[in-house]
Structure 1
């Protein structure tokens, strides 16, 4: 009975989390789904593989609908023996995106339980963590994998803390399961950033153990982590191994080219360019958005209304109310921070910040410094190019740091650490005597309010100028007198200053209210529970109101299930192209980096942060660099090309969607090489640079480029001249994403080029059932030596990495179950 009574508060809390999650995203209860921009792109990218899975109940692991062909490892591929994925599905039982919000709450609640926080305070603390503005915004835009990984981060920290507290069995099991779920979330950037916090924690406890000469305990701790880590990695072996194998093939791998598209020398040693990695760098002063949301204008979609100075200015200028409001909403860009695009400020809550400061003054546990160090490290690293010395050091010398872009997102560690400190401060406040309470309270309040006042005083140091201001002035000067644009920006800056002032006042009032509630408790005017509820209510309500500005900033945020599941409607162009039932590719010039084309056709473009590097370079260095020349070869009367484009031809691009002043039109390419063809000559080169440059003026129908450095050791038997007669042919007879069949007919031994993307791992080629070597040719394509006569050629994608990984996952899952069973047995035995 006592055990049941202990469980009841936790059950009520979990039920409360589920209710809050559903109510927050209440349209899902009406059968609607949230419209997430990134998920729309994913839907386009994954259309072919999802259709194939549905029709055949098989997993293709390859799609030809994007970037000329790529593995689906980062496109939602499903692997055999994925037991940890099944557990994750159980935990995410609510409809999306309420499931991720529930996971935020649950994971943080587990961490607070480990920190000995009582359920009521932990309930409010978990809500504050989950409703942190950044965590809500990523759900709005569709960064589901990121949200998924963040949700399990607190649970991993909880398990690690238990192990360091020498609760080896419980801590080891929790660490093992939480780490497995964290890896399974498949957002390695977030998991990587979590390791920084865990490293700080390990250093703290490691130094403590060495100082106290607790070598045996330290050895046990390391042993538990090793076992937990091996099994957590093991159950995710399929995805980890496949992703690792694919990384170098993607843009996350280092370029083999020593020059850039403009011809300049490529000097970077990183997997990605420094500017690309640090494009999204948080401004140093902008970091105060953490405690006052619109100090720097909020987000890019922030809108001004009829109560703005800009609206009044336009009315005075002679605009009608409707015109003024439309202009304000479209051109009133309030964000003036350092980042190119910001959906919303990363606001953690004024009261959360105040309580975190309270913890630093009041809580006696030294673990608070671990969370403080984690928060500070993530803050300075989020500054990126604005703190360039440290950032360059990490990019150049810290392993894997250069694999990830958008350095500002490392603030997720801070978003975890400060709410932890806040709840620690609230919990410890009620465990001290009145004198200690007052001493800590006035210091925390003075510090927090002092920062608010200081920001008021330094307002004059800011110019409130945004990146778009000059463009707006130039835009308005074309249709109005130049003074209009200058005055427009001047008044817009007044609105930005208004945001700055009003949000500082708002945060100051919230901090005062929270401090007042705690002071009333010290004065015996409020009971402890009442004070906690008051502080918790304002803390959560603050975040709730700020979040609502951004998640529901459009009536289209939630749509019918059909609109979300099928977000693209075919255009006349799509219907026109669909009449062609042959296998070919489509190039949409304006939308190459979008997935809409991939939804309907086999595209040379797509939307992916890990797109194939060489294919991407081919367009940057060759096709799009000469895009104006391509336009000069179009006959708009017949809607076809009048001249061959060798690179597009070899990629079997049969249709190019070209933008015009009257909209887009489909241009037919009659020069496309087809699915495969025999060549007459081999041009040997010895570097990636020579490969790329050779394509500038290459007759791809007759000549193939072979890099002897890449194909070294493959026993290439070709010579510069290859026999080919006019009757030679090779035809695609059967198509599946992971299986292609051809019939070839040639009187002499020849060399065939296939318009498919080369990927060295997983593709197996056979000629009449006998395995043949696949050569990487023309920088991105496949080539085969074909003997004389009539033959059946077949390509199958059978990645060994998936087979090996799934076997490891099965063994690890069994090991994990055995350890959990043994742990439960020994824990019960210990209690008995």
Structure 2
């Protein structure tokens, strides 16, 4: 018993240290404060309708009308009837509040990976800190990319499970891999999941080569089969999410393909079933910008970064007569970034840590394990992928030929792969240094090489500053750069005074240069101190304990110092203050007086198709989502953005919010909105989608409807319009919409509901009835004479069948995990006292 406690104690202390660090870093969360996350606010606005429905009816609806005219709710907020899958994450994180929970979870999973790779507990602590507190993690947390951070947290745990399989801990490794992969996939960030499979492929290739060289063919086959079993269980446990997402993707801008011929002058460079190439490769990391992994702010840091009162920009603002409090507030959100992502902006750089970079580089020379080779391979892979369009010969090939890769954007995210590999390399390097298995003379020589390489890098980075302009104006394509846009904003701020704007831009360039030089000096200090610690250790000036203590302190200070530039105490606000973004304007209040809740709103005071805040109060024509329905995106591009009133009418756009003369939003009522459903006099048949869309240019949507001729078989007779006929909405319960109709002759009805055939079924008097796509994006159907009840029900089989598959696979995964743990404990007792295999 005492021996077992002595074995567990170092791990308990290391895990406790990781827990304490996450609590200290995000201490305001324990005081009831929450993060002010811009993207999370958008999500709250989009999901409010669904959450209110759940409060009333006890279940989450599968369809929402709050954004883009209507879309599946599970693409905004996936909820299932079963909740037991949340128990394990809650146990692992002790029920701590956000973001303490995800930081600790990330550190815990990477700690597991380090231990599985063969490090001791203290080195595992160092590796976990290196992975979790690389700058990208706090940056995505503060911006509200919660699913991405969750996926990052579970990723090391999956790799740990695979490594256990490789080490012949077959059942335990399979159980752990299946468990963490279940939650990684369940985070529903498909791009991070895709990167995981790329990493797994690289590791598998390296491991296969290793086994062939070692002639371990049986072990290779067993490992491969168990890895497949873990994948099947994890993917099966997420059948609900994967199936519904796949089904939706075929109809969305991420996976679907527009039926329309591209407009003249627009990009036709859209891959089949994927994104437009130009759109997909936005946020490509610059090649020289990759040095931010070593020196964080050489490109300014954030597009909305903070400057001190000693900055040239602050001094210039004050000298221009701007009050000091206003100048301080302005310089808290100044455009400091000037890299390749300048026009779009960025929340901050990917900084791995100066000490971590030094250790990872040293690891190339000192690590003897075969793990080094796959870690090097994925390091390079992550960097090449992140360069995106800046390394087009590689990335365009990936985009055009790799399955599903054309559905993802923002290639800079690929640096999470390098974030994992650098942290693992650093941990393995420390373990080699303290193991005593390499001669100190040899290690000193290799440390010298590493020091010279790092010094050379820093010299190149510093020298490059003297040729830099610290600006990103007009880009190579002749389009306005980020600084052009920022200068325009400054000109407006100073009422058209271009001289004042130019003077502020000049001051900004000086501040960017200072940030550059200051961070180079900062990296010199941290790498110098780390080099000194390593050198003195190799000279026997102190033991491994003092080395690890010193290195740990340097890494924690280094990373948290940079992290605090992006996620700090000011990022937290009182929960009561969080509702401020959702305060109803006078225009909102005016619209909400309408007793009929089933209408739509177009808000022109914001970018309507990039902003979800309108959805908090209304059923919006616009919204914010990375994967809109393709047919609705086409309608936005070809009709709504051109202010086609007839199309807005058919979408039942009853109110338009516009800027008033005093700058405050004003609600304008549209008296011609066509309501929820109506009968038309005429049907126009279009030969294809282009003709259907073209007809909308001048179509009177009140009297006529245009339909693609592919649906002709669904409509038996032309409508015989009855002026006395009526059709009205009874109820819209999101998952079910009901109408009453009365007519003396057969009619054709148009419903102001977005067409989505993957789950919507129509019924007339509870008998199945066909319906079709009309006016390119709506639903229509023939209605027989007489009095009838028409019902649309959203019943996607992918959801209901997916639930059954998910539950059964999850239970099987838990049984495997529990059985493997029991067997592993039993095997350990049996093997007690026997020599351990390497």
Scaled by the length of structure 2, the TM-score of the pair is 0.92
Quote the residue 1:641 is aligned against. none
Q: What's the counterpart of residue 634 of structure 2?
A: 617
What's the counterpart of residue 457 of structure 1? 463
Q: Aligned-pair distance for 1:551?
A: 1.5
- How far apart in 1 are the matches of 2:777 and 2:534? 66
1:774 has 2:771 as partner:
yes
Listed as ranges, the gaps of 5+ residues in structure 1 are 631-644
Taking the aligned partners of 2:737 and 2:293, their CA distance within structure 1 comes to: 53
- In structure 2, relative to structure 1, the CA distance for the partners of 1:314 and 1:243 (3 Å cut) is closer
- Separation in structure 2 between the aligned mates of residue 162 and residue 239 of structure 1, nearest angstrom: 28
Q: Which of these residues, 572, 575, 580, is aligned with residue 558 of structure 1?
A: 572
Instruction: Identify the match of residue 300 of structure 2 among 297, 302, 310.
Output: 297
Name the SS of the counterpart of 1:649 in structure 2.
helix
Q: Measured at CA, do residues 159 and 309 of structure 1 come closer, stay the same or move farther in structure 2, by a change above 3 Å?
A: same
Distance between the aligned counterparts of 2:311 and 2:818, measured in 1? 63
Q: Distance in 2 between matches of 1:311 and 1:564?
A: 29
Distance 1:318 1:540, change over 3 A: same
Counterpart secondary structure, 1:125: helix
- How far apart, in 2, do the equivalents of 1:490 and 1:746 lie? 72
The equivalent residue for 1:309 is: 312
Deviates more, 1:262-271 or 1:63-72: 262-271
Equivalent residue runs for 1:9-158 within 5 Å: 9-81=10-82, 83-92=84-93, 93-158=95-160
Question: Secondary structure, in 3 states, of the residue corresponding to 2:683?
Answer: strand
The correspondence of residues 394-543 of structure 1 with structure 2, limited to 5 A, is 394-431=398-435, 432-466=438-472, 467-471=481-485, 476=491, 485-543=501-559
Contact 2:314/2:331, CA 8 A, preserved across alignment? no
Shift of 1:279: 1.2
5+ residue gaps, structure 2, are: 473-480, 831-838
Tell me which residue corresponds to 2:478. none
Q: Does 1:741 align with 2:742?
A: no
Equivalent-residue separation in structure 2 for 1:321 and 1:816 (angstroms): 62
Count of residue correspondences: 808
Separation of aligned partners in 1, 2:24 and 2:825: 39
CA distances 1:407-443 after superposition (whole Å, capped 9, x unpaired)? 1111110111111111111111112332133122222
Once the two structures are superposed, residues 610-636 of structure 1 have per-residue CA deviations (whole angstroms, 9 ceiling, x without a partner) of 222211221221121x24xx7xxxxxx
Alignment pair present for 1:683 and 2:684: yes
Q: Does 1:392 align with 2:393?
A: no
Q: Deviations over 1:778-822 (max 9, x none)?
A: 111111211110011112212211111111122212322332343
The whole-number CA distance in structure 1 between the counterparts of 2:496 and 2:76 is: 48
Separation (CA, whole Å) in 2 of partners of 1:151 and 1:135: 9
Partner of 1:816: 813
Is the Cα–Cα contact under 8 Å of residues 83 and 235 in structure 1 kept in the other structure?
Answer: no
Equivalent in 537, 540, 545 of residue 561 of structure 2: 545
Could you tell me which residue of structure 1 aligns to residue 475 of structure 2?
Answer: none
Q: What's the CA shift for 1:479?
A: 5.8
Q: 2:346 maps to which residue? A: 342
Q: Distance in 1 between matches of 2:732 and 2:497?
A: 61
Give, in whole Å, the separation in 2 of the partners of 1:797 and 1:602: 18
Aligned counterparts of 2:91 and 2:313: Cα–Cα separation in 1: 51
- Kindly indicate whether residue 648 of structure 2 is the aligned counterpart of residue 648 of structure 1: yes
Name the counterpart of 1:642: none
Q: Distance in 2 between matches of 1:825 and 1:471?
A: 62
Please list, as runs of the form range in 1=range in 2, the aligned pairs for 1:792-811 lying within 5 A after superposition: 792-811=789-808
Partner Cα distance (1:240, 1:354) in 2: 40
1:378 and 2:379 correspond: no
Q: Distance in 2 between matches of 1:70 and 1:276?
A: 22
Contact 1:677 1:730 in 2 (8 A): yes
Distance (Å, rounded) in 2 between the aligned partners of 1:462 and 1:136 = 29
Distance 1:609 1:227, change over 3 A: same
Q: Please point out which of 714, 717, 722 is paired with 2:715.
A: 717
Distance 1:318 1:45, change over 3 A: closer
Task: Say which is worse superposed, 687-696 or 819-828, in terms of deviation.
Answer: 819-828
TM-score, structure 1 length as denominator?
Answer: 0.93
Report the Cα offset of residue 261 of structure 1: 5.0
Q: CA deviation at 1:59?
A: 2.4
Supply the distance in 2 between the matched residues of 1:482 and 1:609 (Cα, whole angstroms): 36
Q: Contact 1:45–1:606 (CA<8 Å) still a contact in 2?
A: yes
In the aligned structure 2, how far is the partner of 1:276 from the partner of 1:543? 32
In the alignment, does 2:617 pair up with 1:600?
yes
Taking only aligned residues, the RMSD between alpha carbons, in angstroms, comes to 2.2
1:280 aligns with 2:283: yes
CA contact (8 A) 2:300 2:338 kept: yes
The secondary structure found in structure 1 opposite 2:714 is coil
Contact 1:361 1:443 in 2 (8 A): no
CA shift in 2, pair 1:588/1:114, >3 Å: same
User: Which residue in the other structure is 2:669 paired with?
Assistant: 668
| Counterpart secondary structure, 2:740 | strand
Cα drift, residue 318 of structure 1: 5.7
Query: Which of 159, 170, 173 is 1:168 aligned to?
Result: 170
Deviates more, 1:444-453 or 1:261-270: 261-270
Partners of 1:824 and 1:326 in 2: how far apart? 57
Q: Alpha carbons of 1:261 and 1:330: their partners in 2 closer, same or farther (altered >3 Å)?
A: farther
CA offsets 1:505-563 (integer angstroms, 9 cap, x no match)? 110110010111122222332221111111111111111011111223x84x2222233
The alpha-carbon deviation at position 825 of structure 1 amounts to 4.4
Aligned pair in 2 of structure 1 residues 222, 135: CA closer, same or farther (>3 Å)? Answer: same
Note if contact 2:46-2:616 (Cα within 8 Å) is conserved in structure 1: yes
In the alignment, is the contact (CA less than 8 A) between 1:176 and 1:228 conserved in 2?
yes
Partner of 1:575: 589
- Please state how far the C-alpha of 1:22 moved relative to its aligned partner: 1.9
- Work out whether 1:587 is the aligned partner of 2:602: yes
SS of the aligned residue for 1:706 comes to strand
Between the aligned partners of 2:69 and 2:592, the Cα distance in structure 1 is 18
The CA deviation at 1:282 is 0.7
Task: Sort the Cα spacing of 1:202 and 1:778 in 2 relative to 1 into closer, same or farther, 3 A.
Answer: same
